[in-house]
Amino acid sequence: MANCPKCNYKLKWTDWKPECPECGVNVAYYNFEEQFYIDAKGAEMDAAKIRVKWANVKTAFIGSKLLVARLSLSILPLLAALLSFGSFKMVIPLFEKKMPFSLIGLYSFFTDGTLNYLSALKNSEIVGLYAKHAINIFYGLSAVAAAAVLILLFQLLCFISIKKMTVLLVVMSGFGIGAAVWTVAAVNIFSRVTASTVFTVADGFGGYAVMIAFAVILILNITVLKRGVTVNYVEGDLYRIEVAKKLKRKEITLDEITQPVYLPSAGAGEPDRDVIAEGSSLNG
């Protein structure tokens, strides 16, 4: 059984009345007003945290036309990578395979045994050089695909920290352009050096589409970094969160916090603002 909150008398199951048999205080409502204000302070700070996080999420995705465009086009590199950088046909005894240098071909390369065949042919004096070229091209495609996937992932996670994720998007866009350029060059070289009945190579335009897609993402994110992103918060929410952090660090006590934690001024409704370009964190 519980104890009386005032005198610490151990209540028995026979003590069915709301009053403590020892001191007579109402157990259910003892110190109710004080506890009410304590709960109200906590609720006010918790609500501020939720509103700030929601403001961060909303701004990160649809905070401006530029951010909407960035979100909409984040899948562009993956779609462009479905286009063929070129294709090759491999004909060996008991095996014939034609594959595009694209995401579809990359999936087949790792799943249908093509990687094993090409790896075995690498040691051949006749076609070993061509097999190495083909493997390198698919590795280049793997880098392109990884960059495209990470761009989409970072975009979906940008609410964690708009500035940090934007920097990562810039880096991955640059990496994707580099990987696409390298892969296109490898395909062109492969098509020129191939002189074998085992391998037949054709060029494609997909690589240039991928470069353009990555360049679009790069330009959008550089523009976001330069212009910055303004996040509008409910008045006083940033102050409430700062108070909550001080309370957690035990720099202040709950008794030192006023109730309400923040009293809106006469101009209530005017939001607080945070500009990401100036290095503000959106971790809430």
Q: What residue spans define the domains of the chain?
A: 38-63+231-278, 69-228
User: Residue 89: its pLDDT value, please?
Assistant: 80
More confident residue, 151 or 197: 151
Instruction: Give the tokens for residue 200.
Output: 């037949």
CB-neighbour burial class of residue 226 (10 A; exposed 0-12, middle 13-18, buried 19+): exposed
Average pLDDT, the chain: 83
Bin 87: left if φ > 0, else alpha if -120 < ψ < 50, else beta. Answer: beta
The single-letter code of the amino acid at 108 is: S
Average pLDDT over residues 176-195: 86
Q: How confident is the model at residue 272 (pLDDT cuts 50, 70, 90)?
A: low
β-pairing, 199-203 with 86-92? antiparallel
pLDDT for residue 70 is more than 70: yes
Crossing angle (nearest 10°) for helices 114-121 and 128-156: 140
- Give the orientation angle of helix 114-121 with respect to helix 103-111, to 10 degrees: 80
Q: How much of the chain exceeds pLDDT 70, in percent? A: 83
Return the exposure string of 10-44: e unless at least 16 CB atoms fall within 10 Å of the residue's CB, then b. Answer: eeeeebeeeebeeeebebeebeeeeeeeeeebeeb
Question: pTM here?
Answer: 0.75
**13 or 68, greater pLDDT:** 68
Read off the tokens for 33.
């007003």
Note the pLDDT of residue 143. Answer: 96
* pLDDT > 80? residue 11: no
What is the predicted pLDDT for the residue at 156? 93
Q: What value does the CA radius of gyration of the chain take, rounded to a whole number of Å?
A: 31
Q: Is 207 helix (H, G, I), strand (E, B) or coil?
A: helix
pLDDT of 283 reads 39
What is the average per-residue pLDDT within 245-254?
A: 88
Q: Which CATH architecture has domain 69-228?
A: Up-down Bundle (1.20)
pLDDT at position 27: 64
